[in-house]
C-alpha cells in the first residue's frame, strides 16, 4: 500500500549545487554586528540560579527525626564520653574527649523515649591523634543539645564572605 505511494512521489532528478555568491566579510565588522550571541552576564546569571537554588532549598528545609546512620555535627567544641576502647593508648570507655566545632559524626544508636538522652555516635572527621581530641572512628555519647543535623548553609556562606572581606 505505502510502497506505491513512495515510488510515485520520489524526485528522480538529483539536486544541482547552487553556486555561492556571498563574499567573505571583514572579520572586524562581523564581530561587532553579530546580534545572535547571548550576552555572557545572562548566561552567568542562569548558572548562578541553577547552582544556588538547591542550596537555598536545602537550607530552608526542616530537619527530620534522627535515625541510625544519619550524619550529625557537633555544635561548637564539645566534651563527650567514649563508649568503647580505642586504638589510642590511655583512652578507656568513660573517658572524656573533645570534638572540634562542626565535627561530623554518624549516629550508631538512639535510645527510645527520652527527649534529652545521649546518642551513641561514631566520630568521622578531623583525625586528631593527640589527647584531648577524640580519635577517628571512636564511639562517643553525645547529648541532643550538643549537636545539629545539618549545617546552616546561608550562615556558613555569610561567615566565609565576612572572613574574606575582613582580610
Grid cell listed for 129: 591523634
DSSP characters for 104-120?
EEEEEE--SS-TT-EEE
If you search the block for the grid coordinates 577517628, which residue do you land on?
136
Say if strands 147-148 and 139-143 run parallel, antiparallel, or are unpaired: unpaired
Grid cell listed for 148: 545539629
Domain 71-152 has CATH 2.60.98: no
Under a CB-based contact definition with an 8 Å cutoff, are residues 141 and 120 in contact? yes
Beta strands in the chain (DSSP E): 71-74, 78-82, 96-99, 104-109, 118-123, 139-143, 147-148
Grid cell listed for 2: 505505502
- From first to last of its 167 residues, the chain has per-residue pLDDT tens of 555 555 555 555 666 666 555 555 555 555 555 567 778 888 899 999 999 888 778 777 777 788 888 888 888 888 888 887 666 666 667 788 888 888 889 999 888 766 567 889 998 876 666 778 888 888 898 888 888 887 777 777 788 888 899 87
Convert the pLDDT of each residue in 118-146 to its tens digit.
889 998 876 666 778 888 888 898 888 88
Amino acid at each position: 500500500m505505502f510502497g506505491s505511494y513512495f515510488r510515485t512521489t520520489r524526485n528522480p532528478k538529483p539536486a544541482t549545487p547552487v553556486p555561492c555568491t556571498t563574499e567573505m566579510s571583514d572579520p572586524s565588522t562581523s564581530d561587532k554586528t553579530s546580534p545572535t550571541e547571548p550576552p555572557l552576564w545572562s548566561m552567568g546569571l542562569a548558572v548562578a540560579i541553577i547552582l544556588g537554588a538547591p542550596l537555598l532549598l536545602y537550607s530552608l528545609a526542616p530537619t527530620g527525626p534522627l535515625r541510625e546512620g544519619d550524619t550529625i555535627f557537633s555544635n561548637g567544641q564539645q566534651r563527650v564520653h567514649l563508649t568503647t576502647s580505642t586504638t589510642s593508648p590511655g583512652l578507656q570507655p568513660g573517658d572524656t574527649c573533645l570534638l572540634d566545632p562542626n565535627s561530623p559524626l554518624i549516629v550508631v544508636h538512639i535510645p527510645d523515649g527520652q527527649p534529652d538522652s545521649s546518642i551513641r555516635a561514631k566520630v568521622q572527621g578531623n583525625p586528631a591523634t593527640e589527647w584531648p581530641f577524640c580519635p577517628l572512628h571512636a564511639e562517643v555519647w553525645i547529648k541532643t543539645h550538643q549537636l545539629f543535623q545539618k549545617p546552616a548553609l546561608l550562615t556558613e556562606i555569610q561567615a566565609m564572605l565576612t572572613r574574606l572581606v575582613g582580610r
